Amino acid sequence: MRTPARAIAALATAALFFGSATAQTNAALGRSVDIDFSEQSDSFTSEGPVSYGSDGASFTITKSGDSPKIASKWYIMFGKVEFSMKASSGAGIVSSAILQSDDLDEIDWEWLGSDADEVQTNYFGKGQTTTYNRGAFHADAGSQTGFKTYTIEWTAEELVWQIDGVTVRALKPADASGQYPQTPMQIKIGSWAGGDPDLNSPGTVEWARGPTDYSQGPFTMQLKSLTVTDYSTGTQYKYGDNSGTWQSIVAVDGSVHSGGSNVDSAAPAVTSSSSGQPIPWSGTHDSSSTYVRPSVYPWVPESTTLTTASTQTATSYPGLPSGWTVTSSGKVVPPSSAPVRKASSRTSSPWKRVC
């Protein structure tokens, strides 16, 4: 297990880069699109072994080091995303469909190949993990045998996850302990071998329910189509200040719209959530931004509920450099005189960083 000092050192490094968000500009989608992945889309960049055909984009892992993914060239500022996809089988194989901002806000769907009838949801705000109690499990029968539609409906008022039109989870900002995602998001889809012990830490291998046996492959995740509606308009989204709030985002040649459709947000109670450890910052989560996220072990699900999970936040850490402070939300803040500089990229992730 990572020591508190090492964990906070990684968080402190990440904190150095939030200050540069005011200079960040993202290309805006600003409209609705329907993308058929029977052929490569010019709206996405690709990396690794991704092929295209009648069943859409296929993300195939055949050997150690394979980690296919695609990422949108544009961002949305609140919106609705519908993924028509089929998860991969295979112990230690992780299929992912996520929204992620340059400020490390994140909204996730995640499937583990060893669990054919289950999917995980999660969210992060500014890369802060606090007590790591935000991930949840949901029944998802047939996720590896046929195409299903997974939806993320994201507004300033509520975040909703749906499977085939049925809401499985809903989150309001008041229930997010200050971690509600609210900055422009890029779409990322892909698969990776979290269970490969030659590429990942023991904690990540355990979380992914590995180890991965490549002789049992190939392992393929498929994305048939994607429907995206950007609720805001314009050509670019700019960070107006360092607050990381949606009100600070500026839409160039357009406007930020905080509302959305009348989605059914009635969700069943969460009966299995994470507590104690976070999801790994690797795989599809590996950001293309220049900001550095915490380097931490994966979260391990436990039987609990989001309303009863502990929300205690540390206010100090062993080994915290002189002058550094910790906010009530657990964020590490450097002294005002601390220099802002770019740190070297981590190399432990199986994904290549696209800085």
Q: Say which residue the tokens 């992730």 belong to.
A: 349
**CATH of range 4-333; options 3.10.620.30, 2.60.120.200, 3.40.50.2300, 1.10.3720.10:** 2.60.120.200
Per annotation, catalytic residue among 39, 47, 82, 106: 106
**CB-based contact 322:305 (threshold 8 Å):** no
Pick the residue with more confidence: 201 or 128? 201
Mean pLDDT of 91-106: 93
The answer to whether 39 is a known catalytic residue is no
**CB-based contact 169:270 (threshold 8 Å):** yes
Encode pLDDT of 265-299 as tens digits.
454 554 444 433 334 445 555 544 433 333 333 33
Residue 83, pLDDT score: 98
Instruction: Report phi then psi at 23, rounded to 5.
Output: -90, -5
Query: Could you tell me the two tokens for 253?
Result: 């040649």
Instruction: Report phi then psi at 148, rounded to 5.
Output: -130, 160
Q: Give domain limits for the chain.
A: 4-333
* Per-residue pLDDT at 47 exceeds 70: yes
- Residues 221, 59: Cα–Cα separation, whole Å: 5
Instruction: Give the percent of the chain with pLDDT over 90.
Output: 57
The answer to whether 302 is a known catalytic residue is no
Residue 259, pLDDT score: 73
Per annotation, catalytic residue among 39, 47, 82, 110: 110
Render the burial of 73-99: b for 16+ CB within 10 Å, e for the rest. ebbbbbbbbbbbbbbbbbbbbbbbbbb
The 3-class secondary structure across the chain, one letter per residue, is CCCHHHHHHHHHHHHCCHHHHHHCEEEECCCEEEEECCCCCCCEEEECCEEEECCEEEEEECCCCCCCEEEEEEEECCEEEEEEEECCCCCCEEEEEEEEECCCCEEEEEEECCCCCEEEEEEEECCECCCCCCCEEEECCCCCCCCEEEEEEECCCCEEEEECCEEEEEECHHHCCCCCCCCCEEEEEEEEECCCCCCCCHHHHHHCCCCCCHHHCCEEEEEEEEEEEECCCCCEEEECCCCCCHHHEEEECCCCCCCCCCCCCCCCCCCCEECCCCCCCCHHHCCCCCCCCCCCCCCCEECCCCCCCCCCCCCCCCCCCCCCEECCCCCEECCCCCCCCCCCCCCCCCCCCCC
The half-sphere exposure of 167 on its side-chain side, counting CA atoms within 13 A, is 16
Instruction: Report phi then psi at 12, rounded to 5.
Output: -65, -40
Instruction: Report phi then psi at 8, rounded to 5.
Output: -70, -30
Encode pLDDT of 122-181 as tens digits.
998 865 555 445 689 999 999 999 999 999 999 999 999 999 999 999 999 999 888 899
Residue 252, pLDDT score: 96
Q: How confident is the model at residue 104 (pLDDT cuts 50, 70, 90)?
A: confident
